[in-house]
Structure 1
């Protein structure tokens, strides 16, 4: 068998525990859902797991070794991603009083923007990179079959579990946020709070080692 059933069970349980623990990606999805609705929360989740998938592919293809050997590349990616999140947060706070019309969806976050921002958030998160290159190999047995295929199988399980966990958070946040966004004063506070969360995440990502 490609992956030992016992190892697979341990991997699945450990991954679930890690995913239900609130982290930068989950907080980002939460913010997108509250501000942009269930669709934005779900597409932000798709963006996050797309970033994860790219790291999994890189790890399977050996590119993770290159990033580890030249940490300046990942450091630059992390800083740029963090700066981008800070920029988004500042824009949300500055523009929170614009677009306050009778349309409850005004001032929300588009699905495309939520997706792209989710991917940036994932790829700029050092924890994502560390998880892929340090955690996944613990469950890989070179004697069991192609290493790249084992990476892909474990990565696929991770992506499905993360989609369920973060997607649920995004949809629920969108449902609650939809009711709140119908009230203009509350909507402004949501934009300010979400912007503050994005700024905090950006600072954390840029400063984290």
Structure 2
């Protein structure tokens, strides 16, 4: 069983990841503005399915992989560190812009919206890093089944992400307009994102495997 303190810490990490601008955020904002809240919600269902895919894949494979081949844990961990640092630099490098700015999209059917939401999340590097490199840091074999712990942590991440992304869909137009009218928020937004990613990278680099 996962300790409440560990669960709360992971929920905060999940909240920080979902609140930092990324592919899911820009897709949901753009799609909602283009086709309305109903289609934005359909796109969100696709995104949530992508989370479920990662949870199930982690439950079935990664836990056993780390037990059987311990060196794979360190390889994945350091790949995650380097990628998080690269994302942090990308956010604040000269010429960086806010990815919270919506893009013009063509009208799509509900089925395609769902599939596109799923694929957007499936190919989202932030989510891959979360499940491959960060989630194992919150798991402790002494606390019981890694399979069960993954299910609990994964469900927590999905719940946090669903609530935040649902709010993004509901307030997409207002959020986009607010960002557009406050250019200085672009720099603040990017530096906050870089700080979060950098902190996660350092924590991941110096934290020993449990």
Q: Which residue of 1 aligns with 2:53?
A: 54
Contact 1:39 1:174 in 2 (8 A): no
* TM-score between both structures, scaled by the size of structure 1: 0.60
Does the residue aligned with 1:31 lie in a helix, a strand or coil? helix
The gaps in structure 2 that reach 5 residues or longer are 67-71, 77-102, 177-210
How far off its partner does 1:171 sit?
A: 2.4
Q: Which residue of 1 aligns with 2:113?
A: 114
Q: Which residue of 2 aligns with 1:161?
A: 160
> Does 1:5 pair with 2:4?
yes
Q: Which residue of 2 aligns with 1:138?
A: 137
Q: Compute the RMSD of aligned alpha carbons.
A: 2.8
Contact 1:49 1:163 in 2 (8 A): yes
Contact 1:61 1:148 in 2 (8 A): yes
Matches within 5 A, 1:42-191: 42-62=41-61, 65=65, 108-173=107-172
Q: Which residue of 2 aligns with 1:185?
A: none
Counterparts of 1:127 and 1:17, CA distance in 2: 11
Residues matched between the structures, number: 142
How far off its partner does 1:45 sit?
A: 1.3
Contact 1:38 1:175 in 2 (8 A): no
TM-superposition CA deviations, 1:2-27 (whole Å, max 9, x none): 11111111111221122111111111
> Does 1:22 pair with 2:16?
no
Contact 1:38 1:171 in 2 (8 A): yes
With over 3 angstroms needed to count, the CA separation of the structure-2 counterparts of 1:172 and 1:17, relative to structure 1, is same
> Does 1:36 pair with 2:35?
yes
Counterparts of 1:112 and 1:164, CA distance in 2: 22
The gaps in structure 1 that reach 5 residues or longer are 72-91, 97-106, 178-209
Q: Which residue of 2 aligns with 1:85?
A: none
How far off its partner does 1:110 sit?
A: 2.9
Moved over 4 A (4+): 63-66, 174-177
Counterparts of 1:117 and 1:42, CA distance in 2: 12
Counterparts of 2:170 and 2:38, CA distance in 1: 7
For the pair shown, which has the larger CA radius of gyration, 1 or 2?
1
Does the residue aligned with 1:62 lie in a helix, a strand or coil? helix
